[in-house]
Amino acid sequence: MPTAMNSLTARAVKGISYGLLSLLLFSATATAVGAEKLYIFTEKYPPYNDTFSGKAVAHNEEDITGICTDMVKAALARVDYDYMMKMRAWSYAYNWVQGRKNHALFCTAKTEERASQFQWVGPLASIQWTLFAAPDSDITLNSLNDAKDLQIAGYKGDVMSDYLTAKGFNVIMAASGEVNTRRLVLGQADLWVTDGLVGPLVAKKEFGVSGLKPVLTFRETPMYLAFSNETDPAIVADLQQALDEARAAGELERIVQRYQ
């Protein structure tokens, strides 16, 4: 029969063992959370996403800038996740992210068709769906239906291009949107569908073309940081909270002002 002292000692040892086990489990969990690495992709889409080098491909966050980029970085700075940011062609990034844990891309327009494909953090900025004509064009549109018989330059995976294609418009697809200024100038397309800020900026910066004519703005859509459905919802919630805090602190507004 054990003595009272032996019984007390046994309980003490048992308590220490439970304590050590709990500590080890907590440490393992903390390590797992801290070890989470995020893989974030974007495209060259100035002024929302761009590179300091001017190239359409970037391998690290130091070379990536722009309105949406700075907003995403502001949120990431408020959480304790390691991350990697790269710039690739949009169609590649859009397909690559889906189905992969801890993968995300921005700026992604959130539409009814896309709502279930991702987990969303935002909104960031908004895009103006705009049809542009060449500087010397005499095209005028009173409604979107007026463009039914015209050739429209777009690019693969772009929400505006996909929308028009689904509606039966004649959209000429490219791998990226940068070539579409040349298509307008050379008469290979009648119109170019892109964001109201992006079109003139790309035309001027990449090709020295000024005076693109915005003939119709037909929709506005908020853009988001979109995480794959395989990503832990707790990570998405952390990023949403971080973005909300950055917005409340006035940081997002200051980012927009820097690009005006």
2 three-class SS:
coil
The DSSP line for 218-235 is EEEEEEEEEEETTS-HHH
Nearest to 190 by CA among 161, 164, 216, 151: 151
pLDDT of res. 12: 43
Strand partners, 38: 83
What single string gives the DSSP state of each residue in 101-117? Answer: TTEEEEEEE--TTTGGG
Helix (H) or strand (E) holding 38: strand 37-42
Q: Is the peptide bond before 123 cis (omega within 30 degrees of 0)?
A: yes
Q: Which amino acid is it at 230?
A: E
**H or E segment to which residue 136 belongs:** none
Residue 208 backbone class (left: φ over 0; alpha: ψ -120 to 50; beta: rest) = left
Question: Digits of tens for pLDDT over the chain (260 positions)?
Answer: 444 444 444 454 444 444 444 444 444 443 334 458 999 999 999 999 999 999 999 999 999 999 999 999 999 999 999 999 999 999 999 999 999 999 999 999 999 989 999 999 999 999 999 999 999 999 999 999 999 999 999 999 899 999 999 999 999 998 878 889 999 999 999 999 999 999 999 899 888 999 999 999 999 999 999 999 999 999 999 999 999 999 999 999 999 999 87
Phi, psi for residue 65 in degrees, rounded to 5: -140, -170
Residue environment code for 70-85, b if the CB has 16+ CB neighbours within 10 A, otherwise e: bbbbbbbebbebebeb
β-pair partners for 221:
127
What is the predicted pLDDT for the residue at 205? 86
Residue 38 CA to residue 45 CA, distance in Å, equals 21
